[in-house]
Structure 1
Amino acid sequence: MPKGLTFLPSLALTAVMALPLAAETKPDAGTVLATVNGDEITLGHVVATVAALPQQYQQIEDDVLYDFVLEQLIQQQLLGQQQEELTQQNALTLDNETRSLLAVQTVNALTNDVVTDEAVQAAYDAQFAEFEGEDEFDASHILVESEDEAKALKAQLDDGADFAEMAREHSTGPSGPNGGALGWFGKGQMVPEFENAVLGLEKGQISEPVQTQFGWHLVILNDKRKSEAPALEAVRDELAQTIQQEAIQAQIDELTQQAQIERTALEGVGPEVIRQLDLIQE
């Protein structure tokens, strides 16, 4: 039995006997895999059960999963045969699940119609055709504890000292061993004082000492560029989801306009009663 996959406690099923093997046939949803007191369990029941399992169970070997799911369905059938009908609560739950599944079928059919490669490409073109990009900066810094130390290092840099070498020798920040290099970053990714210093620099220029919560910085702007539009594949799922949501909402709006919907307003029937389980329990 797969670890953690327990729908029901193990039962002794001495009354269930294996049927003799028949000639190989082409399977379909109606293929009967077992009968329990005359009630059939089909291949379709097994396949639907497996399809609804959480993702972590989808990695279980097929032969193990097949036997286990079929056994569980047999056990459920045995237990279910002890009841004449669903309780009121379970019947209402089944109504809700049926309503939900029918809605999902409509959504899936709509999605198949509207989320096409052509529609995704059109949405991408519309969103990024005039993409101008945001400013991105490549900077390095030297971080020290005091303003005096920063001023002294700035004087050496102004005299021609190599910035990367000075960072490796003096910077207390984690980027020091890498010559102070911070790589590319955009607006909002650095603390405000540091960002303001970068924004005021020309390429190759070194800032005056800048104080932040981390200490005192000397910053050099290595390069500046505009960000590029993301590749289509990087945003395909996001675009598809937007197309789907817009199509679903449009369908709902259209159906709502065509439908006759009456909401009954009753005194004492509202949010104050939605947790009263006794209303649906017999």
Structure 2
Amino acid sequence: MSEKKVLAVVNEKEITEDTVLKFLNDLGPQMAMQFQSPEGMKRVVDELINQEVMYLDAKESKLDSDENFIKELERVKEGLLKQYALNQLLSGISVTEGEALEFYNENKENFKKPETVVASHILVEEEEKAKEIIKEIENGMSFEDAAKNYSTCPSKAQGGNLGEFGRGQMVPEFEDAAFNMEVDSISEPVKTQFGYHIIKLINKNAEGLSSFDEIKDQVTQQVLGTKQQQAYINKTNELKQKYEVKNNM
């Protein structure tokens, strides 16, 4: 096992690489990225030294005996203990595949997939320009090249491809046109608040039922949440019989 690297020592308290890594992990990935350099690491070590000398001074000044500190410590301990007790209660609860499958079979109405389409488009400002582009496509230019050459939408970089979307995700005029097209067909110019769209329908997916395998993880989490909630309710109801409770609401 490799020897730990000591980066600083404060009154015999070692600040090691592990100490720094724990500090960065507690910050979260986005904040930690700011310190992923030699200069950043030095700043972290400086901060850990600052915290340590503040702690030592607080101990020497007997701030840990201060009445307000003791009250705050008790408040924090109470919150931690509540959370720990809850975690202990819920940690032993699990869901079998059979339980998840039973829930799925009993609630299939909740697992329907809505109708969706996959479409590309070309967006221009003028209707006349849209008609000219349609003629170019009819004369052999690919829809993707036409999108890259003429579209004002950022999707032009993907040949106009907008991916898969369902109802309610696009403006009404665009949505109505796309959902009423045949696969592989190209629309006439469709006017919306953004300009004129030429739409190509790539695929259409009818409303259907998600299979259990597709959403097993989702169903399992849903059943787990229900079981945990019920366990919490049962436990608190049991404890309300044990301890005196007066609810004035």
TM-score by length of structure 1 reads 0.56
The residue type equivalent to 2:236 in the other structure is I
The equivalences for 1:70-149 within 5 A come to: 74-80=56-62, 85-87=65-67, 89-114=68-93, 116=94, 119=95, 121=97, 124-125=100-101, 128=104, 130=108, 131-149=111-129
Shift of 1:219: 0.7
What is residue 27 of structure 2 aligned with on the other side? 56
Q: Deviations over 1:90-142 (max 9, x none)?
A: 4433332332233223112112221x3xx174675466553332223211112
Q: Figure out how many residues of one structure are paired with residues of the other and give that number.
A: 214
**1:224 counterpart SS class:** strand
Shift of 1:56: 3.1
**1:143 counterpart SS class:** strand
Change (3 A) 1:79 1:143: same
The residue type equivalent to 1:255 in the other structure is L
Q: C-alpha separation between the residues in 1 aligned to 2:22 and 2:154?
A: 48
Q: C-alpha separation between the residues in 1 aligned to 2:153 and 2:182?
A: 23
Q: C-alpha separation between the residues in 2 aligned to 1:241 and 1:212?
A: 43
**1:190 counterpart SS class:** coil
Q: Deviations over 1:66-106 (max 9, x none)?
A: x96887665443222x78x542x444333323322332231
Change (3 A) 1:98 1:142: closer
What is residue 275 of structure 1 aligned with on the other side? none
CA contact (8 A) 2:104 2:219 kept: no
Give me the identity figure in percent. Answer: 29
Larger Rg: 1
CA contact (8 A) 2:122 2:156 kept: yes
What is residue 150 of structure 2 aligned with on the other side? 170
Q: C-alpha separation between the residues in 2 aligned to 1:51 and 1:177?
A: 42
**1:109 counterpart SS class:** helix
CA contact (8 A) 1:120 1:240 kept: no
The residue type equivalent to 1:56 in the other structure is L
Task: Calculate the aligned-residue CA RMSD, in Å.
Answer: 4.6
**1:175 counterpart SS class:** helix
What is residue 174 of structure 2 aligned with on the other side? 194
Change (3 A) 1:124 1:253: same
**2:188 counterpart SS class:** coil
Q: Which runs of 5 or more residues in structure 1 are unaligned? A: 4-9, 19-32, 34-49, 266-282
TM-score by length of structure 2 reads 0.61
The residue type equivalent to 1:77 in the other structure is K
Shift of 1:55: 0.3
Structure showing the higher helix proportion among its residues = 2
The residue type equivalent to 2:27 in the other structure is Q
Change (3 A) 1:51 1:257: farther
**2:92 counterpart SS class:** helix
Shift of 1:210: 1.3
CA contact (8 A) 1:206 1:219 kept: yes
The residue type equivalent to 1:94 in the other structure is L
Q: C-alpha separation between the residues in 2 aligned to 1:56 and 1:2?
A: 19
